[in-house]
Chain A
Amino acid sequence: MKISPWREPWLWAVTVFSLLLAVPVLLIFTSVFIPQKELWQHLFATVLNDYVYHSLLIAFSVGGLTLLLGTSLAWLVARYEFAGRGTLQWLILLPMAMPAYILAYTYTGMLDVAGPLQTHLRATFNWTYHDYWFPDVRSVGGAILMLSLVLYPYVYMLARTAFSEQSASFYEASRSMGVSGFGYFRKVAFPLARPAILTGTALAMMEAFADYGTVQYFGISTFTTGIFRTWNGLGNTIGAAQLAAVLTSFVLVLLLIEKHSRRRLRYFHQGQKQNSAKRLTLTPVSAVWAVIACLLPVSLGFIIPCAQLLIWAAERATTQIDSGFIDLIWNSFYLAASAALIAVGLALLFAYAKRLRSHWLLNSQVQIASLGYAIPGTVIAIGAMLMLSAADDALNALTESLFDTSVGLIFSGTLVALLLAYSVRFLAVALHNVEAGLQRIKPSMDDAARSMGLSSFAVLKTVHIPLLRASVLSAILLVFVDVLKELPATLILRPFNFNTLAVRTFELASEERLQDAAVPAIAIVLVGILPVVLLTRALESGKDR
């Protein structure tokens, strides 16, 4: 007897929620059918070239740089043994805690004409402004560097796992056939780790495409700043959605390439698991170089900017930490916490639905709903805006015809909009963690517990909840931190006069009040360290298995 999956109510729930999450992105794509001839003529004539050129240049350069940096650091740490390796291997992850826009304005403050470094140079060598050349941080090159410094850990993390999982016998087989050292890296280790490395690179590139804060702060025209300008400056939401559709297409192409490169991944894990290769001990001189190589990106991407932020914050703490700051913290906290709970709740629903009924339609619904992680926050915000203002319009028309009164913008003008956008963007993060936890609860465990006379509720209580707790908590934490750091969607969708730490940091920095921005920035960075700690622990326990 075959039961139609549609007889079960929670499958309907999955359908409704996945549609709800898919609508903003679908609206972005349907917007291309509404002609905006004038806008596009204007864009072609003026800034469109810049948008395409800068977005692609930044994304691909960041991809290349993170690939180089992440892979070499991973190879060093996975393959060689040297003093301090244990500490360095997680220090390298720290720049993940640093949002690119905070890095951008910190370096601007440090390296600008009026900044401490140039002032010092001028004082030392008795130069004036025109006597010397100094690289401009606020440039496309600067943006590429800032983004690469905070995004290389994606590549590093995946590459390190891939390298350390490679069986020792691969290395020994190569050695006995006369291939070792760099030859082994080039001919065996890198090709084997390539799917993982490309996944990391693709993630870094998606983040680069999605970046708004850095490029806006540096005054670079890209798709994200263009979308914002078209929506905010020109007041053309449809036009903004159309630009967003183009940007999303870039990202989706990237996603397809990445999926394609992972096609053969499962074959790379065939056979019995052998011991992973023993690390080679470096000579003392090489070890010093290795430590320097590991410390350099961490210093540039975390330690130095953090130190600068702390100095600024110390100068301004007394004036900045006031009741306004407490409001900021409270706003950020309850917004991030609500978003995290909603996203993890949805993730639990989706994950359990998939586990109990593996139906192709259900699976594809869940997959579409979790595509949001690839889509820039700016795009999702515009989509959510389109969807919720339509809902508001319809509701107001209805109440006016019925009660002769309007309820106002109860969806698009409230936190509902932000929570929707965050759910779209971060569901995948939550789902990934919850599914990983659920995978450890084998269906045979349910059967075993049921056969020992436990009710389904008892099974949930005694088996599922204890086993799932850790992954649910880490899912909540990860979404919480992501929401706290999120900038563009919050900027677009926040209710009037509603500020968060990220928004306030960015506003203060944009007003050139860099020292004042340091206090909320430090708060964001501190919270951002939490998931790095979590990741480090996950990577460590993964190694013991």
Chain B
Amino acid sequence: MLDLNNISIAYDNKTVVSEVTFSLNSGEIGCLLGPSGCGKTSILRAIAGFEPLTQGEIALRGTQVASVDTHIAPDKRKVAVVFQDFALFPHLNVAQNIAFGLHHSSGKEKAQRVDELLALVGLPDIGERFTHALSGGQQQRVALARALAVRPDLLLLDEPFSSLDAELREDLAQDIRRILKQAGTSALLVTHDQHEAFAMADKIGVLKAGHLLQWATAYQLYHRPVDKFVAGFIGQGTLLPGQIIMADSADDIHLKTKLGVFSLTKEQITRFAGATNIDVLVRPDDIVHDDNSQNLALVMSRAFKGAHILYELALHDDPSATVLCLAPSHHDHALGERIGIRLDLKHLVMFNA
């Protein structure tokens, strides 16, 4: 559906995106996730045709639409965009906004398509209203309907929820995912909010300073992050220092941490050959609070989350070796207390220190 091959983008000779490659299958929803200024919106704009490439190529449905020498006009790409500010035309009513791109249809066809789309986004009967009379969530849906009206091959959404209330966001993200799946539209969204990404996307790409670090499912990003940045950006967790201990034979290599000693797989041994200091990613779900456990950890800080309390615990009273733990809400422990924990680590995620 969409293939980006080694693309770079620069403004005034300043490279903002370098050598990004990923693909999106038909009907899939992808997401570019990263802090502001990481170049994610530039990639979106390049796919839409608003920015030229300085390297690489973009193909849609197997046809090249952009490279260093080719630049197909935005309206010829069958790509629709939902803008961050929605860009709904204030001088047109909702129906006229949705019908804006339908140049070649008759009046009757237009009206029919508008009704279809308003039904799809769950807002029948608002066609006559002006956009300023709509709530943020309604404006969002109208913008989506307008983008879908031209039956695009690919829908691009630029920070689609950033101007909405926090409570609205996740509901709307689920709704929009449902609408897109129902319409069978491939889509790519850009956001800095991982919860939106998790709620909407099948595949997520994490970007940092113009580089795509990892393109994978949410599960893989959380459990198999490729580097410390992805590990820190996605979900919560801490990095626990550890040392590689060589025993007598080359196959008998262990990792020693404050949580205990772990044996390494063959693959890990090859990957970290020669390293001694290692950081281990520990997620809150790897540590289970157990009052009966003899393994005690010191409460450094706590945050009440409603159903759970998130504790930051120091192992062996060492403040440089901390882990996070989600304990059930009734397990209410004060700062400085020592509480029992149990390790529930399914796999080791290690990085060079």
Contact present for B101 and A179 (CB under 8 Å): yes
Among B74, B84, B87, the most chain A Cβ lie within 10 Å of the Cβ of B87
Contact present for A191 and B91 (CB under 8 Å): yes
Contact of A177 among B50, B90, B101 (CB under 8 A): B101
Contact present for B91 and A176 (CB under 8 Å): no
Interface footprint category on B: 20 to 34
Among B74, B86, B103, B163, the most chain A Cβ lie within 10 Å of the Cβ of B74
Contact present for B74 and A176 (CB under 8 Å): yes
**A166-174, A339-347, A530-538: which one contacts chain B?**
A166-174
Contact present for B81 and A172 (CB under 8 Å): yes
Contact present for A177 and B89 (CB under 8 Å): no
A180-B75, A267-B130 given; A167·B100 CB < 8 A: no
Q: How far is the CB of B285 from chain A (nearest CB, A)?
A: 37
Could you give, for residues 115-159 of chain B, a 1 whenever the CB lies within 8 Å of some chain A CB and a 0 otherwise? Answer: 000000000000000111000000000000010001000000000
Could you give, for residues 83-97 of chain B, a 1 whenever the CB lies within 8 Å of some chain A CB and a 0 otherwise? Answer: 111110111100000
Contact of A267 among B48, B75, B84, B90 (CB under 8 A): B90
Interface of B is mostly: loop
Could you give, for residues 278-298 of chain B, a 1 whenever the CB lies within 8 Å of some chain A CB and a 0 otherwise? Answer: 000000000000000000000
Contact present for A170 and B87 (CB under 8 Å): yes
CB of A268 within 8 A of chain B? yes
Closest A residue to B45 by CB, please name it.
A172
Q: How far is the CA of A167 from the CA of B80 in the complex (A)?
A: 18
Q: How far is the CB of B210 from chain A (nearest CB, A)?
A: 20
Contact present for A170 and B74 (CB under 8 Å): no
Contact present for A169 and B84 (CB under 8 Å): yes
Contact present for B150 and A177 (CB under 8 Å): yes
Closest A residue to B81 by CB, please name it.
A176
A272-B85, A274-B85 given; A174·B100 CB < 8 A: yes
Q: How far is the CB of A281 from chain B (nearest CB, A)?
A: 13
CB of A178 within 8 A of chain B? yes
Could you give, for residues 167-207 of chain A, a 1 whenever the CB lies within 8 Å of some chain B CB and a 0 otherwise? Answer: 10110111111111000000110011010000000000000
Contact present for A173 and B83 (CB under 8 Å): yes
CB of B79 within 8 A of chain A? yes
Q: How far is the CA of A271 from the CA of B91 in the complex (A)?
A: 14
CB of A318 within 8 A of chain B? no
Contact of B81 among A173, A187, A270 (CB under 8 A): A173
Q: Which A residues lie within 8 Å of B91 (CB)?
A: 188, 191-192, 194, 264, 268
Q: How far is the CB of B15 from chain A (nearest CB, A)?
A: 19
Contact present for A178 and B101 (CB under 8 Å): yes
Contact present for B86 and A176 (CB under 8 Å): no
A176-B48, A177-B150, A180-B75 given; A272·B163 CB < 8 A: yes
Q: How far is the CA of A268 from the CA of B163 in the complex (A)?
A: 17
Contact of A271 among B49, B101, B150, B163 (CB under 8 A): B163
Residues of chain B from 37 to 91 with CB closer than 8 A to chain A in the complex: 48-50, 73-75, 79-81, 83-87, 89-91
Q: How far is the CB of B236 from chain A (nearest CB, A)?
A: 30
Q: Which B residues lie within 8 Å of A264 (CB)?
A: 90-91
A177-B75, A180-B75 given; A167·B90 CB < 8 A: no
Q: How far is the CA of A257 from the CA of B193 in the complex (A)?
A: 47
Q: Which B residues lie within 8 Å of A271 (CB)?
A: 85-86, 163
Contact present for A169 and B87 (CB under 8 Å): yes
Q: Which B residues lie within 8 Å of A167 (CB)?
A: 85, 87
Contact of B90 among A174, A270, A274 (CB under 8 A): A270
Contact present for B85 and A169 (CB under 8 Å): yes
Residues of chain B from 314 to 335 with CB closer than 8 A to chain A in the complex: none
Q: How far is the CA of A167 from the CA of B84 in the complex (A)?
A: 11
Q: Which A residues lie within 8 Å of B73 (CB)?
A: 175
Q: Which A residues lie within 8 Å of B79 (CB)?
A: 176
Q: How far is the CA of A464 from the CA of B50 in the complex (A)?
A: 46
Q: How far is the CA of A169 from the CA of B44 in the complex (A)?
A: 13
Q: Which B residues lie within 8 Å of A180 (CB)?
A: 75
Closest B residue to A188 by CB, please name it.
B89
Closest B residue to A178 by CB, please name it.
B75
List 8 additional contacts besides A177-B146, A191-B91, A270-B132; criterion CB under 8 Å: A169-B85, A177-B75, A177-B100, A178-B150, A179-B75, A274-B83, A274-B84, A274-B85
Name 20 interchain pairs, CB-CB below 8 A, sorted by A. Answer: A167-B87, A169-B84, A170-B87, A173-B83, A175-B50, A175-B73, A176-B74, A176-B81, A177-B75, A177-B100, A178-B75, A187-B100, A267-B132, A268-B91, A270-B90, A271-B86, A272-B85, A272-B163, A274-B84, A274-B85
Which A positions have Cβ atoms within 8 angstroms of B? 167, 169-170, 172-180, 187-188, 191-192, 194, 264, 267-268, 270-272, 274
